[in-house]
Amino acid sequence: MRLGRIAAFLAVSLAVAGSAPADAHPRSDDGSLRAAARGTGVRIGTAVDMSALAADAPYREAVAREFDTVTPENVMKWEAVEPQPGVYDWAAADQLVDFARKNGQLVRGHTLVWHSQNPAWLTESAYTPAQLRTLLRKHILDEVGHFKGRIWAWDVANEVFNDDGTPRDTIWLRALGPGYIADAFRWAHQADPKALLFLNDYNNEGVNPKSDAYFALTRQLLAQGVPVQGYGIQGHLALQYDFPDSVLDNVRRFDKLGVRTAFTEVDVRMLLPADTAKVRAQAEGFGLLLRACLLVKHCVSYTVWGFTDKYSWVPGVFDGEGSATPFDENLRPKPAYATLRDTLLLARR
Ligand code: G3I
């Protein structure tokens, strides 16, 4: 399936240069991203906002039409699934898993151990370290167990390093020490041995101190027999900063290590207002990451963190920034959409 990846890269480069080969689109397709991704070995996905999925029919139709994996943007996070100790609420997450099954989509579970979006009751003052370890173990066994057989890949450990490659100071590191990461993977594997288990972070696209830390950690976990199967690169880029270099080198070294890779939360934000030049430059950011994924053997998926500006998380967090996704607020495709589709089509074999 991946034999044609180098050729695909050359074809993509030629197309960007304006001289795509005449047979560049060898198969018929319905014009969607998921049809374009068929045969590339890379699944194309989106984060899903469950309120939008319930209320907005065009949004719902686009999720089903364009993508072959989905990731819950918020509803599988600990605060969402266990709002009170021992009181679970799987309703919204179950709805997404059912939606995915009906539409022939796989689900990326997000996320099991993180420093953010934990329940308000989960504090260091309320529990001893031993109790926190018991709670984390129970959380992972219960959540992964609840979805057993229905989740393709889990983001097990999310954002565990700082940008300088030092371990992030979190409730888990403080209470349990660095071994909490290996434990989280072991518990997830125990609860669903078939799910692919990923590390996941941002600012780790290229070779840098943070991705070096992940490389060392992955090698160490593998050497210890810990069931880690993937390295997730969120891919939150911004036009006002340089795009990362050495993305392909980085993905390739994890590929050679024997783990899968995935781009898990891609978006490319910009200072507002958007204009033609900016949305074209944005398309290059989306394409840069997708090309790296297509060029290695074991990059299994490329997910955008929301596909429409109508529901993107960006304006709420970065003042004066937005327009970060491939569709505008009216669900009309932007140049990034064409870049993603063309890049996928050229990689099909
Ligand atoms: O659910 C409440 C709602 O009851 C309340 O009325 C509303 C008022 O602000 O807030 C709602 O919660 C918000 C939640 O999203 C659900 O919409 C939170 O305030 C808001 O902080 C939260 O933001 C999410 C963010 O993670 C939190 O860290 C974003 O939607 C989500 O896109 C974002 O996703 C993260 C990934 O999980 C990890 N990588 C980075 C990425 C972007 O920050």
* Segments making up each domain of the chain, as ranges: 3-347
CA of 317 to the centre of ligand 1 (A): 9
CA of 342 to the centre of ligand 1 (A): 32
Q: Please confirm whether the linkage preceding 111 is cis (ω < 30° from 0).
A: yes
Tell me what pLDDT residue 348 has.
84
**Residue 265 beta carbon below 6 angstroms from any ligand 1 atom:** yes
Pocket probe for ligand 1: among 70, 73, 158, 325, the residue whose CB has the most ligand atoms within 8 Å is 73
Tell me what pLDDT residue 18 has.
32
CA of 47 to the centre of ligand 1 (A): 12
Among residues 261, 189, 237, which one has the least CA distance to residue 43? 261
Dihedral sign from CA coordinates of 277, 278, 280, 284? positive
d(CA 323, CA 329): 8
**3-347 CATH choice from 3.40.605.10, 3.40.1370.10, 3.20.20.80, 3.40.190.10:** 3.20.20.80
CA of 313 to the centre of ligand 1 (A): 7
CA of 117 to the centre of ligand 1 (A): 8
Does the model's pTM come out above 0.85? Answer: yes
- Report the nearest-CA residue for atom 9 of ligand 1: 316
- Report the nearest-CA residue for atom 32 of ligand 1: 313
Q: How far is CA 46 from CA 132, 172, 266, 280, 326, in A?
A: 32, 29, 9, 21, 11
Per-residue pLDDT of the chain (349 residues; tens, 9 = 90+): 454 454 444 444 433 333 333 333 334 579 999 999 999 999 999 999 999 999 999 999 999 999 999 999 999 999 999 999 999 999 999 999 999 999 999 999 999 999 999 999 999 999 999 999 999 999 999 999 999 999 999 999 999 999 999 999 999 999 999 999 999 999 999 999 999 999 999 999 999 999 999 999 999 999 999 999 999 999 999 999 999 999 999 999 999 999 999 999 999 999 999 999 999 999 999 999 999 999 999 999 999 999 999 999 999 999 999 999 999 999 999 999 999 999 999 998 6
Tell me what pLDDT residue 2 has.
53
* Catalytic residue list contains 143: no
Burial tier of 65 (Cβ tally within 10 Å: 0-12, 13-18, 19+): middle
* Catalytic residue list contains 265: yes
Tell me what pLDDT residue 26 has.
36
**Residue 200 beta carbon below 6 angstroms from any ligand 1 atom:** no
- Report the nearest-CA residue for atom 12 of ligand 1: 74
* Cβ contact 287:343 at 8 Å: yes
Tell me what pLDDT residue 88 has.
98
**Residue 74 beta carbon below 6 angstroms from any ligand 1 atom:** yes
What type of residue sits at position 230?
G
**Residue 66 beta carbon below 6 angstroms from any ligand 1 atom:** no
Active site residue: 159, 205, 284, 321, which one?
A: 159
**Residue 309 beta carbon below 6 angstroms from any ligand 1 atom:** no
Q: Which residues pair with 87 in a beta bridge?
A: 84
Tell me what pLDDT residue 156 has.
99
